[in-house]
Amino acid sequence: MNPARKSDVAVTLLGVLLALFLGALDQTIVSTALPKIAAELHGITRYSWAATAYLLASTVMVPIYGKLADTYSRRAVELAAVALFLVGSMLCGLSGEFAALSFLGDGMMQLIVFRAVQGLGGAGLFAMAFIVIADLFPPAERGKYQGFIGATFGLASVLGPLVGGFLTDHGGHIVSGVSGWRWIFYVNVPFGLVALFIIATRMPKLEPEGPQRRPDLPSTALLVGSLAPLVLALQLDPSRLSWRSPWRASLFGVAAVGLFFFARRSLRIDNPVLDLGLFKNRVFSRASVALFLFGGTMFGIILFLPLFVIKVVGVSATRAGVTLIPFSLGVVFGSTSGGRLASRFGRYKPLMLIGGAVLFLGVLFLSQMKPDIGYGQVTLYMVICGLGLGPTLPLFPLAVQNSVDHSRIGQATAASQFFRQIGGLVGSAVLGAVLGIGLVSRMRADLDEVHAFAGAITNVYRCVAFMALGGWLVTWSIPELPLRKSIRTPTEEEARSAS
């Protein structure tokens, strides 16, 4: 139901985007501080687990939030997500400080556990942003507002490393005796409380349509129990646990068995946690495939570019991080302009295709980089990639939401975000293996380190280019439905077009 007062709409949008900004900022601000955190908490051997715990919890919970949003008040679900994220943030800052928490282990283990708590809330910040906007604005207007989500991501990715580095190095002066890195978690609290206040006082309840029945607990348990080992298997460091390891194979096996029983139960009951009938919708199913491929493309661009400019171009780690800023700015511009153009002209597919083509072109340029390439040229390529990727952030969710019954809009929206995240995880794992194989073969050929890294990373970007091309080709097959001018379910004719 659309809220009556326009002021409530604007303030609600502000609160939701503020909460989203904190979640997006957390993904980049923490990575800057992790080396110092691990050193102080004496957990350098568990360094990667602080990031893995957050990623594991946030990925697994995304489809769960979609079902919760289709069952309970959107406001209640949003409040729960923000509150959980803030509790996790506060506890992360307190890791290793109090004996009362020692039952969880030492300070590093506490941080790992509390990062998982943060991730449980963070998943809701991302999923609910798209879902709430879908309740506030009809599809014909929704694009420009969902474009703000992409802009929020881009802004957070620019500010995260800068703020993280500053607080880690100088935050200790804020309160005597409190380590600077703890402020990267504490800083979430005042802004999060503002978001909580706005959402609690100004956001309408936004009750879901149709009869609301509680999510089926067995199918929920099966989904979580299969996704958790899948994400874990993809994230484990191959240098410590090879891809041929029986432990990794066991995780994949558990995931496969769990997904089989989840699908079996979901097809037999009326109220599964994720309605598999959504895959009969051609817009949803094909957009999910495209998002999976574009997710891998995005992770590939972000993960390997800093490595290239450090090992090949020869810049410092700080300057390598700055290289991603042009990419983020391109995403901001591409996302906001793509969303606005879709709302203005009532068309989204041409913009999705143009964005996909620009993205493919940018990655193709990256795949042709030579050891003598200049820093400025790399920056230009990153701008092109950002401009191409930007429109995918608001427009694919818009296409999915425009094609499904409003009573299932939470599940459809969250599932599309989930496929982007899983695509990124699978892509990063595959591309990491490609890099390792390429480096070994080039080192055996007696190439120096610069040429070995240059050849291996450009080979990785050739694989990324194939992902981008695949996503673009799948986008051609997505049916384009007229953007509705009211918040309602599709007509029978629209539903047939999507099926």
pLDDT at 2: 45
Count of beta carbons in the 10 Å neighbourhood of residue 399:
28
| Region 66-91 average pLDDT | 94
**Cα 2 from Cα 487, distance rounded (Å):** 8
More confident site: 398 or 5: 398
Reply yes or no on whether the pLDDT at 362 is more than 60. yes
Helices 139-170 and 392-403, interaxial angle, to 10°? Answer: 140
pLDDT higher than threshold 80 for residue 437: yes
- The rounded distance, in Å, linking the Cα atoms of 447 and 453 is 9
Tokens matching residue 356: 């996909």
Average pLDDT over residues 296-313: 88
Distance CA 349, CA 156 (A): 27
- 485-491 long-range contacts (CB < 8 A, ≥24 apart) are 485/138, 485/139, 485/140, 486/138, 487/1, 487/2, 487/134, 487/135, 487/137, 487/138, 487/406, 488/406, 489/209, 489/405, 489/406, 489/407, 490/402, 490/403, 490/404, 490/405
Instruction: Quote the pLDDT of residue 279.
Output: 93
- What pLDDT band is residue 238 in, cutting at 50, 70 and 90? confident
Tokens 């302009």, residue located: 337
Tens of pLDDT, residue by residue over 96-108, are 887 777 788 888 8
* pLDDT score, position 295: 94
| pLDDT tens figures, 107-136 | 889 999 999 999 999 999 999 999 999 988
Query: Would you call 156 helix, strand, or coil by DSSP?
Result: helix
pLDDT for residue 4: 47
pTM of the shown model: 0.89
Residue 262 has pLDDT above 90, yes or no: yes
Structure-token match 């400080």, residue found: 97
Given this structure, which CATH class describes domain 1-203?
mainly alpha
Q: What is the mean pLDDT of residues 362-379?
A: 91
Place of tokens 């908490």: 41
Distance, in Å, from the CA atom of 307 to the CA atom of 164, rounded to the nearest integer, reads 20
Give ranges for CATH 1.20.1250.20 in the chain: 1-203, 274-484+491-499
pLDDT score recorded for residue 3: 45
CA–centroid distance for 60 within its chain: 12
Lowest mean pLDDT of 60-64, 69-73, 319-323, 386-390, name the range: 319-323
pLDDT in tens, 162-211: 787 778 777 777 776 677 788 889 989 999 999 999 999 999 988 887 66
Average pLDDT, integer, range 338-360: 94
Over residues 10-49, the pLDDT tens digits come to: 899 999 999 999 988 887 788 777 878 888 888 877 877 8
What are all long-range contacts of 342-348, with beta carbons under 8 Å and residues at least 24 apart?
342/143, 342/144, 342/394, 342/395, 342/398, 342/483, 343/140, 343/141, 343/142, 343/143, 343/144, 344/144, 346/140, 346/482, 346/483, 347/480, 347/483, 348/143, 348/395, 348/398, 348/399, 348/480, 348/483
Encoding tokens for residue 267?
Answer: 């097809």
More confident residue, 57 or 488: 57
pLDDT given for residue 488 in this prediction: 59
Q: For position 497, what pLDDT does the model report?
A: 56
- Under CATH, which architecture does the 274-484+491-499 domain have? Up-down Bundle (1.20)
User: How much of the chain exceeds pLDDT 70, in percent?
Assistant: 94
Give whole-number Cα distances, 43 to 53, 101, 170, 177, 321, in Å. 14, 16, 22, 21, 24
Q: How confident is the model at residue 498 (pLDDT cuts 50, 70, 90)?
A: low
Identify the H or E element spanning 302.
Answer: helix 282-308
Residues 6 or more apart whose CB falls under 8 angstroms from that of 43 comprise 106, 107, 108, 109, 111
Q: pLDDT averaged over the chain?
A: 87
**Residue range 382-408: mean pLDDT, rounded:** 92
